């Protein structure tokens, strides 16, 4: 497609801000803000963000579209959030394998200087590692030694933050590092120095009342666009995925995750509930290069536990959604939990691969594994279900409608897979996913529809959700898991159980290994075929972030962040055990040199 035509399409799409069919935008109107769950700092906005350079990057860290689209052929680097646009998190590196992994040892322990939930998946370009911490502090390190190159410490604008200051990654392209910040701003930094090149205008790129919107996922750069989804699903928002111009930060298109009346699925919302219906996009999007499509999961509708004001299935919440990359116009959606009343977000990145269609033919497929505790595999051309597999225990009453009388079910609001990316190995045909197993008790209460300008107390939750770790409502032993699922049959190949929750993400390699961390602080390597734990290293605080692997000067490294994680009773568990809930390190491992 020529640049002129592409530019024309982008100009048109920037007007159609909630794609599907051309629609008017129904933004959140100004009004009295709710009492905050948490807030980002409210600094002096005349004080610019600070960048400190310890040693400017001298290596070639430029990444163009061709490199990103062929990232699968680049064994040395980890160029995208999931290594490749399909989010498989599989590396062909095999220097570290089943036979020698027991020799794996730390070569660097990086102190980020920021304590708090550390859920980042590093990007590595030609020996330089780029990470982001809680509250969006960006760091560049030497990926072999761990020595710092530069740091970026932003002065965040005010924002209502529903679920903590997490940041899960950056994107690196065109000589820039892109960070999607907690205050709803995209910032582009010079990849060599960390200096801020531009940042997006909240008024021009977010709906009205921008303090309700935040970003916690890692953005993806694709074909000149920076693509990111909105967080903040417990506020009265209309969730979205949107694309910015990578060179300027201007908005190109926006797809909204609650269907308007004149869109497909629009009749699944009663009244005007779709205008403030939630549907956050907590995960990094995936890209189907062959079809030029963007796929992503969506979160729960709002309010969480009271559905009388939003009767119907509430499209496109709790779904896998596919949109056309150039325009953001809907291609299809597959809803996993209609009319969600249990906070069953689908919040893990969608993973793309080919899978058996049930008739012996391989077809393009996609999998989503969310809080509802099932890995759901669909045909990614149509959204049609191929198969689904439970990877945590699921109670028979898990879809009981909450009332003012408490009901206990499992999994719950932070059960199943909370947000962690899985991994797919083309060698084993297994999809590897972490899980949290525990009971939750729900109640609901009548909640008035959100009215702009009307003061409200707290988030529009519509009830209460409680993690049951002990007592008569415990029902199921709390534990974590790592499960291998054959994508062609849906059968569980193996499952590892941890005495504590498991979340953060998985890495699979051609060395026939699977790497994943645990809440107890262990970072582990498993045999990809049978789940035997072959190696572990204790990091002192929850290793609850996605591992990555890469090669520098012909030596393979594995890196993982350890800083604990937010929400889901995590801090309560660690306090009970008398152990620190949060840290702030990134560990780099390698085999000893000969």
By annotation, the residues acting in catalysis are: 343
The span from the CA of 331 to the CA of 175, in Å, is 32
- Nearest-5° angle of CA 481, CA 487, CA 493? 45
Tokens (6 digits) for 121: 């998946």
Quick check: helix, strand or coil at residue 261? Answer: coil
Q: Vertex 77, ends 362 and 532: CA angle to 5°?
A: 65
Q: What token pair was written down for 392?
A: 């945590």
Q: CA nearest 433: which of 444, 446, 420, 443?
A: 420
The residues, any chain, with a CB within 8 Å of residue 143's CB and separated by 6 or more, are 122, 124, 127, 128, 129, 550, 552, 557, 559, 588
What one-character-per-residue DSSP string does 30-72 give?
Answer: P-PPPPPSEE-----TTS--EEEESS---S-----HHHHHTGG
Q: What is the 3-state secondary structure (H, E, C) of 63-99?
A: CCHHHHHCHHHCCCCECCCCCCCCCCCEECCCCCCCC
Angle, CA of 121, 127 and 133, to the nearest 5°:
30
Residue ranges with strand state E in 88-206: 90-91, 105-111, 123-125, 128-132, 138-142, 148-153, 160-161, 171-173, 176-180, 186-190, 196-199
Tell me, rounded to whole angstroms, the distance of Cα 229 from its chain centroid.
9
Contacts of 461 (CB under 8 A, 6+ apart): 234, 303, 304, 305, 447
Chain centroid to CA 591: 30
Find out whether 388 and 498 touch, Cβ atoms under 8 Å: no
Q: The dihedral of CA 560, 564, 570, 573: what is its sign?
A: positive
Is residue 163 within 8 Å of residue 143, measured between CB atoms? no
Burial class (CB in 10 A: 0-12, 13-18, 19+), 246: buried
CA atoms of 336 and 314, how far apart (whole Å): 11
Give the three-class secondary structure for 492: strand
How far apart are the C-alpha atoms of 314 and 330, rounded to whole Å? 16
The H or E element that residue 495 is part of is: strand 492-498
Scanning the structure block, which residue is given the tokens 């001298």? 58
Cα radius of gyration rounded to whole Å, the chain: 22
Q: What share of the chain is helix, strand, coil (3-state, %, to 5)?
A: 10, 35, 55
């Amino acid at each position: 497609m020529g640049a002129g035509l592409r530019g024309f399409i982008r100009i048109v799409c920037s007007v159609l801000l909630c794609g599907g069919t051309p629609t008017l935008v129904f933004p959140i109107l100004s009004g009295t803000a709710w009492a905050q769950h948490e807030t980002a700092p409210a600094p002096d906005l005349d004080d610019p963000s600070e960048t400190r350079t310890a040693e400017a990057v001298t290596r070639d860290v430029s990444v163009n579209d061709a490199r990103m689209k062929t990232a699968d052929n680049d064994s040395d680097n980890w160029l995208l959030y999931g290594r490749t646009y399909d989010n498989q998190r599989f590396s062909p590196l095999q220097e570290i394998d089943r036979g020698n992994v027991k020799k794996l040892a730390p070569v660097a322990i990086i102190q980020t200087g920021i304590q708090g939930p550390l859920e980042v998946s590093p990007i590595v370009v030609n020996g330089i590692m780029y990470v982001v911490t809680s509250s969006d502090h960006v760091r560049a390190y030497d990926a072999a030694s761990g020595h710092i190159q530069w740091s970026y410490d932003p002065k965040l604008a005010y924002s209502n933050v529903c679920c903590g200051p997490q940041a899960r990654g950056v994107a690196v392209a065109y000589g820039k590092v892109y960070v999607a910040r907690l205050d709803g701003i995209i910032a582009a930094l010079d990849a060599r120095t960390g200096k801020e090149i531009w940042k997006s205008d909240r008024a021009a790129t977010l709906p009205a009342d921008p303090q309700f919107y935040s970003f916690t996922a890692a953005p993806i750069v694709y074909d000149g666009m920076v693509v990111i989804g909105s967080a903040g699903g417990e506020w009265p928002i209309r969730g979205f995925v949107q694309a910015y111009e990578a060179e300027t930060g201007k908005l190109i298109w926006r797809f909204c995750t609650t269907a308007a009346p004149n869109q497909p699925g629009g009749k699944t919302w009663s009244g005007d509930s779709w205008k403030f219906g939630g549907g956050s996009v907590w995960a990094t999007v995936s890209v189907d290069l062959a079809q030029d499509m963007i796929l992503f999961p969506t979160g729960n509708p709002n309010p969480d536990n009271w559905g009388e004001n939003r009767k119907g299935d509430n499209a496109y919440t709790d779904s896998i959604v596919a949109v056309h990359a150039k325009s953001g116009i809907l291609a299809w959606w597959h809803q996993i939990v209609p009319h969600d009343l249990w906070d069953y977000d689908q919040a893990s990145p969608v993973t793309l691969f080919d899978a058996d269609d049930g008739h012996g033919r391989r077809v393009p497929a996609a999998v989503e594994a969310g809080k509802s505790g099932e890995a759901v595999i669909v045909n990614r051309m149509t959204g049609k279900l191929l198969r689904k597999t439970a990877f945590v225990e699921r109670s028979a009453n898990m879809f009981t409608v909450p009332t003012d009388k408490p009901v206990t079910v499992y999994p719950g609001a932070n059960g199943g897979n909370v947000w962690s990316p899985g991994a797919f190995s083309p060698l084993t045909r297994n999809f590897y996913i972490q899980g949290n197993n525990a009971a939750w008790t729900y109640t609901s209460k009548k909640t008035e529809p959100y009215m702009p300008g009307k003061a409200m107390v707290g988030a529009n939750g519509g009830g209460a959700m409680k993690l049951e770790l002990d007592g008569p409502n415990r029902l199921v032993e709390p534990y974590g898991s790592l499960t291998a699922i054959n994508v062609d049959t849906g059968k569980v190949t193996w499952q590892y159980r941890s005495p504590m929750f498991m979340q953060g993400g998985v890495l699979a390699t051609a060395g026939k290994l699977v790497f994943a961390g645990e809440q107890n602080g262990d970072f582990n390597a498993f045999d990809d075929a049978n789940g035997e734990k072959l190696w572990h290293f204790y990091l002192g605080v929850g290793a609850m972030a996605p591992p990555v692997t890469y090669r520098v000067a012909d030596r393979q490294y594995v890196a993982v962040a350890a800083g604990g994680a937010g929400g889901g009773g995590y801090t309560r568990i660690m306090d009970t055990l008398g152990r620190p809930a949060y840290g702030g390190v990134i560990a780099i491992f390698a085999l000893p040199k000969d």
